[in-house]
Each structure stands twice: as structure tokens, then as C-alpha cells.
Amino acid sequence: MEIKDRKTIVLGAGKSGVAAAKFLAERGAVVALHDRKPVEEFSDAAKALKESSGVGLIGGDLPSWLLDQIDLVVISPGVPTGSIPARYVDRKDGEVIGEVELAFRFMKGRIVGITGSNGKTTTTTLIGDILREGGVKTLVGGNIGTPLLELATQTDDETWTVVELSSFQLETIKDFRPNVAIALNVTPNHLDRYEFFKDYAMAKHRIFMNQRPEDLAVLNADDEITASWVNGLNAHVSMFSVKKELDEGLFLRGGELISKVGDAEKVLITRDEIFIRGLHNVENILAAMAAGLACGVAPESMRKTISEFRGVEHRIEFVEEIGGVRFYNDSKATSVDAAVKSLEAMSEGDGKTVIILGGRGKNAPYAPLAELVKNNVRTMVLIGEDADNIEAQLGEFAPVVRAGSMNDAVKKAFAEAQGGDNILLAPACASFDMFASYEERGRVFKQIVAGIAAQQAMSEM
């Protein structure tokens, strides 16, 4: 891809946009970095680009005279593809791509791509561990935190790059091709951005669009949407299931995770050897093992890696046990389906769950939580903008307590809990009404729990 002297706008001044602007400027493009917010509110990393790389910074509306000069738009995941600058440049035969597509054009080696409504980060992290500990040269990035552009120049012909991909990132790919592509599940999410669920699902499906017969597509046989994608893919398909035995693929039988090829079966690991909780994490592990096998990692090496895996921060993360009450941080449960999986994991043990729900809703119904709340929840502690909506839809199934802050919510949850119970932060909502990110929300939760633990320890002295 020729970059030198191309007049480029990067839309979105977040981490991905900053990486793209820096990458392009270093290769001789004429670059402007744009965001809707004023330049004064740009991050320090974004502001630094003006001095270090000659990148222009533009806040607010883009002038039409500037758009007339642009022939390349690099769009960040948080910016809708229907934004006026992207549509304008596209109509005048300019190129509109995302940071992932830009990175792909400069990458070497091979790629494992992971998408899905839930479980992406856990699966991506685990695959990275499996490959590294299996002796494979590995890089991990994408939606998980490190922009793919920051990794592109580190790749060589021996590298496997493991990439977490959101629907937003997949909207803007053109040639991006993962050698192994995984779709974990597709459930209602981001309906505040997509008009129809089918649009969201088709964005996920794009992960497979450039695969070839020598590539591998890994699909969840238990998910209605992903299972329907078996026919019509160019790649070889491998399925996984926790609900049924497959003629070929990876599946759960009793307490054993099994790989079957033809008539040959092999037990890869047992559930007793797995630390992380929940049947959904068994799904993630099956998908990760499919990738590991495709990349040539020995089953014995995978078994060791998985047995030592302790999960990912903010994903059903065990925080503390205080007075017989266990605290779990699943701040990443930003959708209803993710909260369902979190509650299902809690229901595998003894005791009831006091769940902290709420935040900025995504226009998805909370009804899928109803049965779990009715059978497993002692109390719902509700916070944030969507608290009224959650209570209207779920209030009949468990007692409700309102809280005005996370500190208030955690203390009220602890007061509601009994010995042997779990306190679970699984908001089913985005964090942006109260926090900058789900990570900040989770960290605040853990800090409050640590404070309660310290107070309890002092009182026992």
C-alpha cells in the first residue's frame, strides 16, 4: 500500500486513532487526526503527535474544503461508518478503511482472529498463552488493548498474531484475512449502534469473508447464528459444542473436553483441571484448543497452559472472600447475554448471588435474565441510567435495592449477602454514565472490596 504523500484523515482520537495517525505520518502521509470533542480534550498521546509527527489536530465539525482534498480515511472502531466524513470521501472515490485493515496490509506471518458477542478477550488471551507456551512466536492485540498497527512492524514470516476483533472493527475490513477465524457466539448487543440485529450479526460474519480453503473457520455449534454459517464458507470448518457430541470437532462429554477427527477421539483436558468458572468458559476453552491444534501446538502443552490459566481481569474475576461472602468482578459483562453467562457460572456453586446491575443500557431486553434472577439471586442492587428499566423488567423476580454510586452499591450488596453467597458485579450495561470504561468500573469495584476487607481485618484484631 502506497502511503507517502497521501492526504489522510484519521477519524477518532482514541488509542486506535492515535496509532493510525502516527503510523501514517511516519511513512510520509499528510495526516489530520479528527474527533468530535475539542482539541483541548484530546489525550496527551494525541496532542503529542502534532509536535513529534506533524499531525494536524481537528476538533468538532470538519470543513468541507478539507474533505475535498482527502483521498484516504482511516476510521476508528468507535466512529460509525455512516459518519459524514467517511461517506463524503467514499462517494468521491477515496478509500475508507479501519486501523485493522491498514495494519493487515503491512503484516507478515499468520493470523488467528477471534470475534463474538462474549468471551473474546478470555479466548484471545488464552490462545496467546497456548501458542507462546507451545513454542510458537506470538503477538496478541486488536480490540484486547494493543492496536494492531503497533504490532504490524514486529511481525515476520514465523509470527502468529492473535487478534481480538469487534463488530465495529470488522465493518471496515476489505482484504483482512485470518488463517484461523473464530466466531464464539452472536447475541443481541450494540443495538444502540445497529438498527437491526441482523446488521450486527453480518458485521461479525465478515471475519470469514476473505478466507481460503486452506484456512480454518471455528464455529459454535450451540449458537443459532454461528451454527447457521456452516454452509457457504470458503474455509474448512471446525465446530465446538458443550451441549452435544459432534461427529467431528471439539465437544464436552460429561467432565471431559474431547477432540474428534474421523473415528479417533482424544481427551484434551477435564473440567476438574480448569480453574475459571462457567460453562461459557468451557466454550471459550474448546475454541482456544481448536486454534491451538490448528497452529500445531501439542495437546499436552495445551493441557498444562489451560490448567494454569487464571482468567482475565474484569471477566468473572475472583476478588476476595470476606466473612464467607465471595466477591466477583465481571465488569466486562456489558451486555445482557454476558450477564446471563456470569449468573450461570455463579449458579454452579452453593449459595445465592447478590448482583449489581445497571449503567448505560443498549436497548436490549433484560428478559433473558429473568429465570436466573428468580432462581439464583438473593437481591438485585441497581445503579446507573437504566436502573428504572431493569427494575421494570426484572423487579418481580427478586428484591431490589437502589444505589447512587459504586461505593454505595458494594456496601449495600454486602449488607444483603449471607455467608456462602456471591456478590457479583455483572452490570449488563455499558459503563459510560458513571465511568470512563468498564475497566475503571471494575477497578473501582475492587478498590471498594479491598477497603471492606481491610476494615474487617482491623475489626478482628
DSSP 8-state assignment for residue 329: E
Considering all CA atoms of the chain, what is the largest pairwise distance in Å, rounded to the nearest integer?
73
In the residue annotation, 120 being an active-site residue is answered as yes
In the residue annotation, 205 being an active-site residue is answered as no
How many beta carbons lie within 10 A of that of residue 205, not counting itself? Answer: 21
Task: Look up the pTM and report it.
Answer: 0.82
Give SS3 for 347.
Answer: helix
- Mean pLDDT, all residues of the chain: 94
Mean pLDDT of 147-171: 96
Q: In this structure, what C-alpha cell is assigned to residue 239? A: 465446530
Q: Which of 15, 34, 47, 120 is catalytic?
A: 120
189 versus 405: the higher-pLDDT residue is 405
Q: Supply the pLDDT for residue 452.
A: 96
Following DSSP, what letter does each residue of 1-32 receive, concatenated? ---TT-EEEEE--SHHHHHHHHHHHHTT-EEE
* pLDDT-based confidence at residue 90 (cuts at 50, 70, 90): confident
Percent of the chain with pLDDT over 90: 84
Q: Supply the pLDDT for residue 188.
A: 75
Q: Supply the pLDDT for residue 407.
A: 98
Q: Supply the pLDDT for residue 190.
A: 67
Following DSSP, what letter does each residue of 187-222 receive, concatenated? -S--TTT-SSHHHHHHHHHGGGTT--TTSEEEEETT
pLDDT over threshold 90, residue 92: no
* pLDDT-based confidence at residue 191 (cuts at 50, 70, 90): low
Which domains, from first to last, does the chain contain? 7-99 (3.40.50.720), 107-308 (3.40.1190.10), 317-459 (3.90.190.20)
Distances (CA, A) of 23 to 19, 39, 72, 230, 406: 6, 20, 14, 37, 39
Mean pLDDT of 314-318: 92
Residue 210 has φ and ψ, to the nearest 5°, of: -110, 10
Candidates 107, 87, 202; CA nearest to 147 is: 107
In the residue annotation, 304 being an active-site residue is answered as no
Calpha distance 86→79 (Å, rounded): 9
pLDDT over threshold 90, residue 360: yes
Contact 166, 150 (CB under 8 A): no
Q: Supply the pLDDT for residue 460.
A: 78
Per residue, the 3-state secondary structure of 254-296, as one string, reads CCEEEEEECCEEEEEEEHHHCCCCCHHHHHHHHHHHHHHHHCC
Residue 182 has φ and ψ, to the nearest 5°, of: -120, 130
Q: Which of 34, 190, 204, 412 is catalytic?
A: 190
Q: In this structure, what C-alpha cell is assigned to residue 122? A: 478470555
7 versus 459: the higher-pLDDT residue is 7
Q: Supply the pLDDT for residue 79.
A: 87
Calpha distance 120→196 (Å, rounded): 22
pLDDT over threshold 80, residue 40: yes
pLDDT over threshold 90, residue 81: no
* pLDDT-based confidence at residue 192 (cuts at 50, 70, 90): low
Mean pLDDT of 288-311: 97
Burial of 53 (0-12, 13-18, 19+ CB in 10 A): middle
Q: Which of 143, 189, 281, 376 is catalytic?
A: 143
Q: What is the pLDDT of residues 106-136, one digit of tens each?
A: 999 999 999 999 899 999 999 999 999 999 9
